[in-house]
Structure 1
Amino acid sequence: MNPKVDWFFEKEEKWKEEVTELRKIVLECHLTEDLKWGCPCYTYEDKNILLIHVFKEYCAFLLFKGALMKDPKGILIQQTENVQAARQIRFTSLKEIKKLSSDLKKYIFHAIEVEESGVKVPLKKTKEFPVTVELEVKFNELPDLKKAFEALTPGRQRAYLLHLSQPKQAKTREIRIEKCIPYILNGKGLNDVNEYLMNKKKKNE
Structure 2
Amino acid sequence: MQYNTSVEEFISKKPEWVKSLQLLRSIMLTTEMEETIKWGVPTYTINGKNIVGISAFKSYVGIWFHQGVFLKDPYNQLINAQEGKTKGLRQWRFGSFEEINKDQVLAYVLEAIQNQKEGKEITIERSSKEIEMPYHLKTELEHNKELKTSFSKLTPFKQKEYMEYISTAKRDATKDARLQKIIPMILKGIGLNDKYR
TM class by smaller structure: 0.5 to 0.7
Percent identity of paired positions between Structure 1 and Structure 2: 29
What residue number does 1:91 align with?
94
What residue number does 1:6 align with?
8
Contact 2:66–2:88, Cα closer than 8 Å, also in 1: yes
Deviation at 1:28, TM superposition (A): 1.7
Alpha-carbon spacing, 1:62–1:157, altered in 2? closer, same or farther (3 Å): farther
Contact 2:79–2:91, Cα closer than 8 Å, also in 1: yes
One-letter amino acid of the structure 1 residue matched with residue 96 of structure 2: S
C-alpha separation between the residues in 2 aligned to 1:154 and 1:90? 29
C-alpha separation between the residues in 2 aligned to 1:38 and 1:184? 15
Larger Rg: 2
TM alignment of 1:145-164, pairs within 5 A? 153=156
Higher mean C-alpha deviation, range 29-38 or range 54-63: 29-38
Higher share of residues assigned helix: 1
Deviation at 1:51, TM superposition (A): 1.2
Give the paired residue count.
167
Q: Secondary structure of the equivalent of 1:126?
A: coil
Deviation at 1:188, TM superposition (A): 5.9
TM alignment of 1:47-86, pairs within 5 A? 47-81=49-83, 82-86=85-89
Q: Which runs of 5+ in 1 are unaligned?
A: 129-138, 162-173, 196-205
C-alpha separation between the residues in 2 aligned to 1:85 and 1:116? 16
C-alpha separation between the residues in 2 aligned to 1:26 and 1:143? 47
Establish whether residue 115 from structure 1 lines up as the match of residue 83 from structure 2.
Answer: no
Establish whether residue 28 from structure 1 lines up as the match of residue 20 from structure 2.
Answer: no
Contact 1:63–1:87, Cα closer than 8 Å, also in 2: yes
Contact 2:51–2:67, Cα closer than 8 Å, also in 1: yes
Alpha-carbon spacing, 1:184–1:83, altered in 2? closer, same or farther (3 Å): farther
